[in-house]
Chains A and B, each alone.
Chain A
Amino acid sequence: MDLQHIHPEPTSFVRKHIFSTDHKVIAKQFLWAGLLFLAFGGALAMLIRWQWAFPGEPVPVVGPMLFQNSGGAITPSSYNAIFTMHGLIMIFFAITPIMIGAFGNFCIPLMIGARDMAFPTLNMLSFWTFVVSQLLVIVSFFVQLGSAAAGWTTYAPLSTQVGTPGLGQTLVVAAVFVTGVATIMGGINYVTTVVRLRAPGMTYMRMPATVWGLWLTAILNVLFVPVLGSAALLLILDRQFGTQFYIAGSSAVRGGGDPILFQHLFWIFGHPEVYILILPPWGFVTDLVSFFARKPAYWYKGSVMAMTAVSVLSAVVYGHHMFVTGMNPMLGQSFMTLTLIISVPAELLFLNWLHTIWKGSIRLTVPMLFALGTIFVFGLGGLTGLFLGTISTDLYLHDTMFVVGHFHLTMAAAAFLGSFAAIYFWFPKMFGRNMNQSLGKWHFWFSAIFITLVFCGQLVAGYAGHQRRLFDPYQYTFLQHLQPLNRWTSYFGFILAASQVTFVVNFFQSVFAGTKAEQNPWEIGTLEWTLPSPPVHHNFDVIPQVHRGPHEFSNPEVKKTLGRDWIGQDEELPKTGKAPAAPAAAAS
Chain B
Amino acid sequence: MGAIVPYPPPRARQEWTAYLGMVIFLGSWAMMFGALFFAYGMVRARATAWPPPDLPELPLLLPGLNTLVLAASSAALQLAVHWLRSGKLPRVGPALGASLALGAVFLALQMVTWSSLWDEGLNPSGGPYPSVFYALTCFHAVHVLVGVGALAWLCRCAFLGKYSAARFLPVRLWALYWHFVGAVWGVMYLTIYVV
Contacts and interface: CB of A to CB of B under 8 A. Distances in A.
B48 A255 contact: yes
B20 interface: yes
A229 B43 contact: no
A265 B35 contact: yes
A18 interface: no
Given A1-B14, A195-B20, A541-B2, A244 B52 contact: no
A243 B137 CA distance: 13
A255 B28 contact: no
A1 B49 CA distance: 52
Interface in A472-526: none
Contacts of B123: 242
B129 interface: yes
Nearest to B25: A188
Interface stretch (B3-11, B90-98, B109-117, B179-187): B3-11
B125 A242 contact: yes
A254 B124 contact: no
A244 B17 contact: no
A253 interface: yes
A224 B38 CA distance: 14
Contacts of B162: none
A268 B38 CA distance: 11
A298 to B, nearest CB: 33
A188 B55 contact: no
Contacts of B126: 251, 254
Nearest to B134: A243
A470 B20 CA distance: 48
Counting chain A residues whose Cβ lies within 8 A of the other chain, the interface size class is 35 or more
A196 B35 contact: no
Given A254-B128, A255-B127, A118 B55 contact: no
A281 to B, nearest CB: 24
A2 B21 CA distance: 14
Contact of A536 (B1, B16, B139): B1
B107 to A, nearest CB: 20
A430 interface: no
Given A1-B14, A233-B139, A261-B39, A543 B128 contact: no
Nearest to B49: A255
Interface string A1-32: 11111100000000000000000000000000
Interface in B119-176: 123-132, 134-135, 139, 169
A4 B14 CA distance: 9
Nearest to B127: A254
A224 B34 CA distance: 11
Contact of A543 (B7, B54, B131, B134): B7
A91 to B, nearest CB: 19
A214 to B, nearest CB: 15
Chain B interface main SS type: helix
Nearest to B125: A242
A179 to B, nearest CB: 15
A256 B127 contact: yes
B28 A6 contact: no
Counting chain B residues whose Cβ lies within 8 A of the other chain, the interface size class is 35 or more
Interface in A253-296: 253-258, 261, 264-265, 268
Interface string A227-259: 101110110011001111100001101111110
Contacts of B48: 255
Given A245-B39, A254-B128, A542-B5, A226 B134 contact: no
Interface string B15-57: 0111011001101110111111011001100111100111100
A495 B132 CA distance: 50
A244 B131 CA distance: 6
B1 to A, nearest CB: 6
B3 to A, nearest CB: 7
Nearest to A115: B7
B35 A118 contact: no
A309 interface: no
A191 B24 contact: yes
Contacts of A241: 124, 134
Contacts of B16: 196
B135 A237 contact: yes
Contacts of B134: 241, 243
A541 B14 CA distance: 20
Interface in A272-326: none
A106 to B, nearest CB: 20
Contacts of A250: 127
A39 B20 CA distance: 38
B21 A188 contact: yes
Contact of B42 (A237, A256, A258, A543): A258
Interface in A184-198: 184, 187-189, 191-192, 195-197
The interface centre, meaning the residue of B7, B17, B34, B54 with most chain A CB atoms within 10 A of its CB, is B7
A391 interface: no
Contacts of B6: 5-6
Nearest to A192: B21
Given A3-B17, A115-B7, A261-B42, A226 B32 contact: yes
B43 A542 contact: no
A119 interface: yes
B31 A226 contact: yes
Given A1-B169, A4-B9, A230 B24 contact: no
A139 to B, nearest CB: 24
Contacts of B35: 226-227, 229-231, 265, 268
A544 to B, nearest CB: 10
B149 to A, nearest CB: 17
Contacts of B139: 233
B143 to A, nearest CB: 13
A223 B25 CA distance: 9
Given A233-B139, A257-B131, A192 B31 contact: no
Given A187-B28, A222-B28, A541-B2, 4 more contacts: A227-B35, A243-B135, A245-B135, A261-B39
20 contacts: A1-B14, A2-B14, A115-B7, A188-B21, A192-B21, A196-B16, A197-B17, A223-B27, A224-B31, A229-B35, A233-B139, A234-B39, A237-B124, A242-B123, A254-B55, A258-B42, A261-B42, A264-B42, A532-B1, A541-B4
Instruction: Give the 7 A-B CB pairs with smallest separation, nearest first.
Output: A254-B127, A226-B32, A242-B125, A230-B35, A243-B131, A255-B47, A254-B52
Interface of A: 1-6, 115, 118-119, 122, 184, 187-189, 191-192, 195-197, 222-227, 229-231, 233-234, 237-238, 241-245, 250-251, 253-258, 261, 264-265, 268, 532, 536, 538, 541-543
